[in-house]
């Protein structure tokens, strides 16, 4: 198999490259964090994450931020913060 010309490091012809997934990363992580399988809704993003360390790092950073914000939410409520 030859690398995809749209993404020189891609080893899978289905890999769409970095651009198409950027607009759906938040939704992908939202599904994942709620216990769902985001690969069912975004199969090409799942393929891309297997091949692109930069996008995988963006994904992992967003997951970490969501986890940290979730852990902080109870203390915000007790401190008089609001949830939106």
Query: pLDDT digits over 25-42, tens only?
Result: 999 999 999 999 999 999
Its pTM stands at 0.68
Which of 6, 46, 4 minimizes the C-alpha distance to 24? 46
**Selected residue with higher pLDDT from 58 and 19:** 58
Cβ atoms of 15 and 48 within 8 Å: the answer is: yes
The pLDDT value given to residue 25: 93
* Distance of alpha carbon 19 from alpha carbon 16, whole angstroms: 8
- Helix axes 25-33 and 53-78, enclosed angle (nearest 10): 60
Which of 40, 41, 42, 54 minimizes the C-alpha distance to 10? 54
**Selected residue with higher pLDDT from 52 and 76:** 52
């Amino acid at each position: 198999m030859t690398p995809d010309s749209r993404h020189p490091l891609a080893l899978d012809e289905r890999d769409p490259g970095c651009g198409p997934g950027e607009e759906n990363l938040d939704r992908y992580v939202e599904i994942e964090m709620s216990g769902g399988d985001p690969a069912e809704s975004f199969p090409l993003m799942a393929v891309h994450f297997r091949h692109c360390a930069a996008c995988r790092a963006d994904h992992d950073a967003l997951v970490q931020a969501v986890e940290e914000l979730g852990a902080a939410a109870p203390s915000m409520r007790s401190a008089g913060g609001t949830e939106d």
